Amino acid sequence: MPKEKSTTRKGGKERVQRRKKDPNAPKRGLSAYMFFANDNRDKVREENPGITFGQVGKMLGDKWKALTETERKPYDAKAATDKKRYEEEKAKYQAQLAEASEEESS
């Protein structure tokens, strides 16, 4: 493992729309957790009717890690698929940059 830095907002401040140097911002693909949540959100809520987001989120994360790589596989696979999608965006995004640069040469 590279580094175990708490992915949690260190400052716990507003991390909404920030730094955006990308012209067309190729956004990133979804994370395995996103797909995991997509499949668990309704399931967790079903077993926990009336559960608030705070509980769902924490519980989801706990279960997420509870899963083994094998169980994460399908989710990771989806994440990888989404990543590919992002790759296309990134490719186009960079292609546009190159094009713009070329035109700029004019």
Q: What is the footprint of DNA within residues 46-105 (CB under 7 A)?
A: 51-54, 56-58, 60-62, 64-65, 76, 79-80, 83, 86-87, 90, 94
Question: Rounded to whole angstroms, how far apart are CA atoms 87 and 92?
Answer: 8
> Smallest gap, in angstroms, from Cβ of residue 52 to DNA?
4
**Taking CB under 7 A as the rule, does residue 19 contact DNA?**
yes
**Between 2 and 106, CB nearer to DNA:** 2
CB of 99 to DNA, least distance (A): 15
CB burial of 34-43 (b: ≥16 within 10 Å; e: otherwise) equals ebbbeebeee
37: Cβ–Cβ under 8 A, 6 or more apart, which residues? 60
Segment (H or E) for 86: helix 69-105
Residues contacting residue 56 through CB under 8 Å, at least 6 positions apart: 41, 44, 45, 48
Q: Which residues bind DNA (CB under 7 A)?
A: 2-3, 5, 7-9, 12-22, 25, 27-34, 37-38, 41-42, 45, 51-54, 56-58, 60-62, 64-65, 76, 79-80, 83, 86-87, 90, 94
